[in-house]
């Protein structure tokens, strides 16, 4: 399983909610707050932690857990500029974060040793096209990988609201995650190393 999240830095900065004490108290546990101001930019730390939480949350939901609306249950810790982990119910989930001058991108991969992780980040000028273009990029990668017709690929959500990849209305075993914000979209895709992709 894999989860990802992207934050458009320019858009996040313009929204301004990150400056409000109420926002900080709602999103971050008390134990996380000193870390926000301890190193670097509080703004960048806030949105890195947000993207870490989101990427791990997606995997937790993929694992079958009920959705919940309490980001404080997910506790972030930085190890260095790239690596960190999120603690949830006593378990640590390792995350990797890529930060550029334009975006912050975090991902968490469960059982990564058995899979090749494919990430693609897209710059989409029209924010209204983010979701469509990100999904199309995922379909193009899968179509090339498996030699499937592009038009027969689709994403459908299961009963828990988790998106699944389908070919001709048959589910594929590929695990993926989609994200978009501002002028950026991204997908993460797990390619299993030792099993059929379309069993």
The residue ranges of every structural domain in the chain are 2-110, 113-192
**Residues comprising the chain, all counted:** 199
The domain over range 2-110 is classified in CATH as 3.90.470.20 = yes
Dihedral of alpha carbons 179, 57, 66, 117, sign? positive
- Are 86 and 74 in contact by the 8 Å Cβ rule? The answer is yes
- Are 50 and 57 in contact by the 8 Å Cβ rule? The answer is no
pLDDT greater than 60 at residue 156? yes
pLDDT tens digit sequence for 87-114: 999 999 999 999 999 999 999 998 766 6
- Are 23 and 16 in contact by the 8 Å Cβ rule? The answer is no
pLDDT, position 112: 62
Q: Tell me the average pLDDT across 179-188.
A: 95
pLDDT tens digit sequence for 117-154: 999 999 998 888 989 999 999 999 999 999 999 999 99
Q: Do domains 2-110 and 113-192 have the same CATH topology?
A: yes
Indicate the pLDDT class of residue 198, thresholds 50, 70 and 90: very low
Among 19-23, 105-109, 168-172, name the one with the lowest average pLDDT.
19-23
Q: Tell me the average pLDDT across 172-176.
A: 93
Structure tokens at 63: 């694992």
Class (C level, CATH) for 113-192: alpha beta
Q: Bridge partners of 80?
A: none
Residues 6+ apart with CB under 8 A from 71: 26, 27, 28, 50, 53, 57
- Are 4 and 179 in contact by the 8 Å Cβ rule? The answer is yes
pTM of the model: 0.91
- Are 187 and 6 in contact by the 8 Å Cβ rule? The answer is no
- Are 191 and 124 in contact by the 8 Å Cβ rule? The answer is no
Indicate the pLDDT class of residue 3, thresholds 50, 70 and 90: very high
CA angle 124, 121, 26 (to 5 degrees): 90
Longest dimension (CA), the chain: 51
């Amino acid at each position: 399983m894999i989860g990802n999240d992207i934050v458009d830095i320019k858009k996040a900065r313009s929204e301004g909610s990150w400056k409000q004490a109420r926002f900080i108290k709602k999103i971050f546990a008390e134990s996380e707050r000193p870390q926000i101001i301890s190193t670097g930019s509080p703004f960048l730390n806030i949105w890195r932690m947000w993207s870490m939480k989101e990427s791990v949350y997606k995997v937790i939901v993929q694992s079958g857990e009920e959705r919940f609306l309490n980001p404080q249950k997910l506790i972030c810790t930085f190890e260095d500029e790239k690596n960190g982990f999120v603690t949830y119910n006593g378990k640590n989930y390792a995350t990797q974060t890529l930060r550029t001058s334009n975006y912050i991108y975090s991902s968490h991969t469960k059982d990564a040793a058995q899979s090749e992780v494919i990430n693609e980040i897209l710059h989409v000028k029209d924010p209204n096209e983010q979701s469509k273009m990100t999904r199309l990029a995922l379909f193009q990668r899968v179509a090339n990988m498996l030699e499937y017709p592009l038009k027969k690929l689709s994403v459908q959500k299961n009963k828990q609201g988790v998106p699944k990849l389908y070919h001709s209305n048959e589910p594929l075993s590929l695990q993926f995650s989609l994200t978009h914000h501002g002028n950026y979209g991204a997908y993460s895709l797990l390619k299993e190393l030792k099993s059929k992709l379309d069993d």
